[in-house]
Amino acid sequence: MRSPQRHPDILGGWPEPNGRRGFSLFPCLRKAAGVAAHVSAAALSVYLGMLSRLGTSRFSWHPACMAVAVCFCMTEAILTFSQDSSPFFFCSIKAKVRIHWMMHVFATIFGLVGLVFIISSKNISETSHLTSWHSILGVGTVIAVCGQLLCGLCLLFPKLINTYSVARLRLYHATCGLVAYLMATATVVLGLCSDWFKAQVNGVLWYFFLIVPLIPALVVMNQINNGYLSKKKIEI
């Protein structure tokens, strides 16, 4: 007789038979990494916002908005489901899904505002568009995030679509979401390699800031891998 099919917590993984969850890092190290991810995401967003000197030019809004969108909103949206460091650990899964969706909506809004300002800035200065890897990957990231937003909408309201497996769609959403987040992180790193950032930050401090966005990226990768990708934990 087949055992009843189980469904995992959203981005949380299967509970092990003994009540412990599978992990690749020791519990204390996972918690410390989670805290580091929250701190680095918030700190980088604040620092880039201060560094951009909001209001001094149209361009100044671009790094500030993108930092809030990617470094803070996208990171916190995913870490909402973390078993180790979620600031909403006391909430139900349904509430976490709503928070996850809301944070991604904010990320999309801030991202689009940042995109509008950089386009406007380049048009005024008569500078060519899409001339760097940062800009090309950035456009691809915006498209990927918008696609993820639509996929998330389908999961939020599954009756809107005819799908034979919500679990399969959830798996696609998690894996494609990881790709989109890594694209966004790579875009941020390329932005830190830009002339604008190097003119204000250099030396050892510049190398330090290159590492900062990688901290939440590694934590997110570990979270999604443990939740969906390892050991074929989802029956499709």
Average pLDDT, the chain: 86
Q: Provide the whole-model pTM.
A: 0.85
The more confidently predicted of residues 132 and 163 is 132
Residue 99 has pLDDT above 70, yes or no: yes
Q: Quick one: average pLDDT of 31-54?
A: 95
Q: Structural domains in the chain?
A: 27-232 (1.20.120.1770)
Task: Reduce the secondary structure of the chain to three states and give it as a string.
Answer: CCCCCCCCECCCECECCCCCECCCCCHHHHHHHHHHHHHHHHHHHHHHHHHCCCCCCCCCHHHHHHHHHHHHHHHHHHHCCCCCCCCCCCCCHHHHHHHHHHHHHHHHHHHHHHHHHHHHHHHHCCCCCCCCHHHHHHHHHHHHHHHHHHHHHHHHCHHHCCCCCHHHHHHHHHHHHHHHHHHHHHHHHHHHCCHHHHCCCCCHHHHHHHHCCHHHHHHHHHHHHHHHHHHHCCCC
Residue 19 has pLDDT above 50, yes or no: no
Q: Quick one: average pLDDT of 178-207?
A: 96
